[in-house]
Structure 1
């Protein structure tokens, strides 16, 4: 199998625009018909077309993209295909990883086959976020996180979630209740992801109630609870709010559009999700899959192009040096802030969902 070797100059030339679109979803033919092909199930705008073109030209391996928009659908397709999957690589979020592994749908990653494995950013070196029972189960790609967003024209700098409760901004804050409840638990020194509360329902309920009561006590701080990213964007644009809890994507869009918004990870930390490329067990083209994965890790320009298209932060090293100042402010974090992100776990999610949902209803009703 020919190795993918791209020079920095050729990569820069191919990815300069960084705004290519994914190839149109191809019909994936049965495994016996595959030859020099890699079949990838992923999300829209995750793989730059310029990279696909360069990879195909360099290796002779055809890249066939099947788009997905839901982890459950992707899981159901793989489960139905059983021992004869049509995908070689799938895109799994970290908190769903155990479901795919538990159903024997993924193969552990042989990192020894990836010469560029060391090109991950420091926070992802060795991919601890994707390591289960000593085996790595994917290549980290893109990360989204819950951040502190603020209008820099009207607020003071802050490295703490405490600003969300600062009376100076009374009536000028906003958040998604279910998400910010978990952040408030973390702010109070408790486990907002409920991992440590497995088998400890009373401890979990006490921590949930403490955060619930604090949000009710500070309900006058909130201009509006929101559900969709477009809502918090509009409130910032209209200057209805100055400070908010926001997922990184909506805030990044505001920054890229020139609005005076900053997003950061406060010192108390936050939660996030990680997308990874994962090798499918019994995939028809495993060698081509590894060639593709090694290639996508080969250059920070590729990671930068993926960030520009998706709006998520890259897990690849050196991307911050490729992005311009505005892109860096929108999609890259300082290393110390990246290390404050705790990625959501699949552990104890039933208890978490039940208690959070109940608390949300109580906050709304208060």
Structure 2
């Protein structure tokens, strides 16, 4: 299986071998009785409907889904609910889990209570991104990276993010500003993850400003800034844009569907991330959550379905054998490109988020 895992060295070895508003809160209602329902906040296309239906039939537990496409909105909702959450399980990206933990919003998992924990791919069973002080805070699900996507019918091949700024494609590019700002910093030679800027706010601000000004200067390249995976997919399918920065899942799904796009990691590099299901502190239905985790890991067919729906690589063992050649090819990249992935770090997150949020607003306003 083509896996992205939370340590750079092991990630490269494994992979070389092979988010709009929250939905209406009324979707999640107070539980009828303890553990008779399970409230999950997750992304569209992450949970297969067949699995949900089967779990409900087998256990009598009703699954209620609240959709999100943004980590910040999910965090803000949990923080606002405080000690009385309406959600049992959330879907956290690895580079944001420290924020949830710092605010005491998640509880550690008792992996002995999770049936089939051993069905995770071995590197993920002790994923460093999900382990703090020896405690595990999530069930690894899917992994991916920020890639460059181009319509192969209308664009030339390129191994550089420079293609996003090529005048030939003026008005035919798109990206998520906050994500692409970090990539632009890397493209310009700065640290887009701000690890090098711990204790150096002035240096960090100068690097942020350089990327901000560069994107403002090339603002005429952009057809539209987008927010979610389905939006960039639609723009590519409609040929509204020819080149895009995209999460690997959205692009891989287009490749699986036979659309003429290429996903690549340019020579300047990119950032990677891991998604997990996480148990909320004071979750109203914890025992239902543990039953859910065990059922999720019981059959690699579920992992394969999640790959097909999301386009991201699975953290479950045995999935590779269930994928078609096209599906495997869609989530595989050459070794030299995989080596360009840098996983988001947990350090200096507050500085990064504050500076990027401010720069995004300034780019939009320019």
For 1:152-167, what aligned pairs fall within 5 Å after superposition? 152-155=152-155, 157-164=157-164
Shift of the 284–211 alpha-carbon distance from structure 1 to 2, 3 Å rule, reads closer
Q: Provide the residue aligned with 1:42 in structure 2.
A: 41
Is the aligned partner of 1:244 residue 2:227? Answer: no
**Unpaired runs of at least 5, structure 1:** 1-23
Q: Which has the larger radius of gyration?
A: 1
Q: Provide the residue aligned with 1:106 in structure 2.
A: 106
Q: Provide the residue aligned with 2:147 in structure 1.
A: 147
Which deviates the most, 130-139 or 309-318? 309-318
Q: Provide the residue aligned with 2:286 in structure 1.
A: 286
Q: CA RMSD in A?
A: 4.0
**SS of residue in 1 equivalent to 2:105:** coil
Paired with 1:335 and 1:140, the residues of 2 have a C-alpha distance of 24
Shift of the 61–105 alpha-carbon distance from structure 1 to 2, 3 Å rule, reads farther
Shift of the 66–136 alpha-carbon distance from structure 1 to 2, 3 Å rule, reads same
Paired with 1:102 and 1:41, the residues of 2 have a C-alpha distance of 21
Q: Provide the residue aligned with 1:342 in structure 2.
A: 343
Superposed CA offset, 1:100-135 (max 9, x none): 323333211233444533443577452222233443
Paired with 1:55 and 1:355, the residues of 2 have a C-alpha distance of 41
Q: TM-score, normalised by structure 2?
A: 0.71
| 8 Å contact from structure 1 (residues 93, 276) kept in 2 | yes
Shift of the 195–226 alpha-carbon distance from structure 1 to 2, 3 Å rule, reads farther
Paired with 1:341 and 1:111, the residues of 2 have a C-alpha distance of 28
Q: Provide the residue aligned with 1:174 in structure 2.
A: 173
Shift of the 344–149 alpha-carbon distance from structure 1 to 2, 3 Å rule, reads farther
| 8 Å contact from structure 1 (residues 25, 64) kept in 2 | no
Note the C-alpha offset of 1:295.
2.2
Is the aligned partner of 1:276 residue 2:276? Answer: yes
In the alignment of these two chains, the number of paired residues is 334
Q: Provide the residue aligned with 2:224 in structure 1.
A: 226
Is the aligned partner of 1:29 residue 2:31? Answer: yes
Q: Provide the residue aligned with 1:52 in structure 2.
A: 52
**SS of residue in 1 equivalent to 2:244:** strand
Paired with 1:255 and 1:195, the residues of 2 have a C-alpha distance of 33
Q: Provide the residue aligned with 1:128 in structure 2.
A: 128
**SS of residue in 1 equivalent to 2:196:** helix
Q: TM-score, normalised by structure 1?
A: 0.71
Paired with 2:261 and 2:191, the residues of 1 have a C-alpha distance of 28
| 8 Å contact from structure 1 (residues 271, 344) kept in 2 | no
Which deviates the most, 302-311 or 83-92? 83-92
Q: Provide the residue aligned with 2:201 in structure 1.
A: 201
